[in-house]
Every structure is written in structure tokens, then in C-alpha cells.
Amino acid sequence: MRDRSWEARGRGARAAAPVGLLLLILFPLILLPLAAVFLFAFRGGPQSFLEALRSREAQFALRFSLLIAFATAGVNAVLGTFAAYVLSRHRFPGQRALAIVVNLPVAIPTVVVGTSLLLLWGPIGLLGRWLDPLGIQPMFAPAGVLLAHLFVTFPYMVGAVKPVLDEIETTYEEAAYTIGANAWQTFRLVLLPAIKGGLFSGALLTFAHSLGEFGATVLVSGNLRLRTQTAPLYIFAQFEAGNVTQANAVAAVLATLSFVIFFFLLRDTTPGGSRK
């Protein structure tokens, strides 16, 4: 152990130049813009920061975003794990194609997702035009926002759970079956404990992405204050209206939430962290 740390220190000395260069690049690229959000948010003092946060619209936007993020993470935890299970445990024709479909949302621009959802479920859309007379209108309502977020974040859950499942040998499951466990018991007692870490990090990633989703949401939500306006839409609307303080207060909260989520992600999924 001592040897190793000595070696690492030696390498550290040689790494000083590239690390310095990297910091020099990261500083204006990532760190300074983030700092600017916080500096601007608190420029009018903590009083005006809190006042901006306390406005009804800001409170609604934050709560609505959190609810959507929780719902998205919950639904996708189930759907994503199921998709990962099917893709990992079964061999069937078209499997590769299906694996690509599952990961497709990562590659599609979110604005395109919003447009396609509108053209399907919107009141003049392919399916929406039949639902509209029945009084069912998922778009421009919380349901539409949830649909968009489920679509956009779907691959994160699969991406986090499938590699873990792939590594677990099927012999454990077979052993469980041979001693009489049914499929649900096998999943709950054998697989679930093993994929817990993947589930956790997948859910966190999904949550974080949902919290920040903008491109699809702006189209499918109708951007209605106090009804469908999420926190990122609120930030954009307030910034566009020139209310920089209001925009920055919520932006600072979102940024802080993301920091906390990433702190959990790093702490709990890197080797040497508290778990795993």
C-alpha cells in the first residue's frame, strides 16, 4: 500500500502540467459559468433571493418539476428494469434491433421528441384527434410532460441495469428455480439484491435528467404558469422576460439539487465509495 501511494505521488508530479492545463480549460468552460449563476442569484442579497424563490409561480414550478422527476424515475425504474431483464435474459430474433430502439432516445434531439409527441397525441395529432372528442387530452397537461420525460430518459435505466444483469451468471437463477422458487421470488430474492446499485444510479440519472429536461417539455407543456410550467421553463421564461433575479434563484436551486444528486451518484457507485 505504501509503495502504491509513493508511486502515485511520483506520477502526480509528472501529471502537474496536464492537470493544470485541464483545470485551465475547465475553469472558464464549466466552473465559472456555474459560479456566475450563484453570484447573480445572491447579488441582491439573501433577502431578494428568498423572495424570488417564494413567489407562487417559482414554488409551483419547482414542486411540479420534482413530482414529474419522481414519477419519471419511478415508472422508468420498473419499465427500464423490465426492458433490461428481457434484453439480457432472453435470446430472440430482432433482439439487436430492440436494443437499439431502447437506446434511441439518447440520440434523438429532445425538440424532435416534443414535436413527435405533439403530432401523435396532440389535438390534431394522429391518435389525439380520436381522443380529443372523448375529452382525453394528454398534451399541454401534466400527463404530456410525464410522457415526454419517460421517452427522453428511458435509456438511462436500461443503461444502468443491463450491464449489471449481464454480469450475473444465470446459474444463480437456475439454482433458485431448482429449489422451487417461482419467477417473482427469483427476481426479488436473487436478482434484485444484485442489481440494487444499478437501479439506484439509473434512478438518480433519470431523476436528474427529468429535472433539467427542456427541449421536449417546452413543446408538449404549453408552458402554462401554475399548471404545466416546470422549473427549467420557468427559468427560461423569467430570463426572457428580463427578470434575471427570479430566473437565477430557481436556477441556483436546480444546480444545487444536481450537485447533491451527483454527489450521491459518485459516492455510491465508484469503487472505494461507501457501498459496493
Partner 1 sequence: MILPIAFCVGLLTYAVWPWLPFARAAQPPRTIVFYGFSILSDVMTSGIFPAFQKAWAAEGKAPVEFVSSFAGSGTVTNQIILGVPAQLALLSLESDAERLASAGVIAPGSWRRLPFQGVVNRTPFVIVVRKGNPSAIHDFADLARSGIGVVHPDPATSGGANWSVVAEYGAGLRRSGGNAQAAEAQLRGIWKNVVAQAASARAARVQFDQGFGDALVTYEQEPLWDRTRGKFRGEIVYPSSTILSEHTLVVIDKHIGPADREVIARFVDFLWSEPAQRIFVAYGFRSVLPQLEGANPGFGKIEDPFLIADFGGWTHARPEIVDGIWKRRVMASLHP
Residues forming the site for partner 1 (CB under 8 A): 62-63, 66-67, 70, 118, 122-124, 128, 132, 137, 139-140, 200, 204, 222-227, 229, 237, 239-242, 257, 260, 264, 268, 274-275
- 8 vs 260 by CB, closer to partner 1: 260
Q: Which is nearer to partner 1, 204 or 205 (CB)?
A: 204
Q: Closer CB to partner 1, residue 15 or residue 266?
A: 266
Cβ-count burial 52-79 (b if 16+ within 10 Å, e if not): bbebeebebbbebbbebbebbbebbbee
Q: What is the rounded distance in angstroms from the CA atom of residue 210 to the CA atom of residue 131?
A: 26
Shortest distance, CB of residue 220 to partner 1, whole angstroms?
10
- Dihedrals phi, psi of 120, to nearest 5 degrees: -95, -55
CB of 264 to partner 1, least distance (A): 5
Which lies closer to partner 1 via its Cβ, residue 129 or residue 188?
129
Least CB distance from residue 12 to partner 1, whole Å? Answer: 31
Which residue lies nearer to partner 1 by CB, 66 or 181? 66
Cα separation, 232 vs 230, whole angstroms: 6
Query: To the nearest whole angstrom, how small is the minimum distance from the Cβ of residue 8 to partner 1?
Result: 29
Percentages helix, strand, coil for the chain, rounded to the nearest 5?
80, 0, 20
Q: In the bound complex, what is the minimum distance in angstroms from residue 84's beta carbon to partner 1?
A: 21
Smallest distance from the beta carbon of 123 to partner 1, in angstroms?
3
Q: List the grid coordinates of 58.
A: 417559482
Helix 192-212 crosses helix 56-89 at what angle (to 10 degrees)? 140
- What region does 94 belong to: left with phi over 0, alpha with psi -120 to 50, or beta? left
**Nearer to partner 1 by C-beta: 15 or 124?**
124
Contact 153, 206 (CB under 8 A): yes
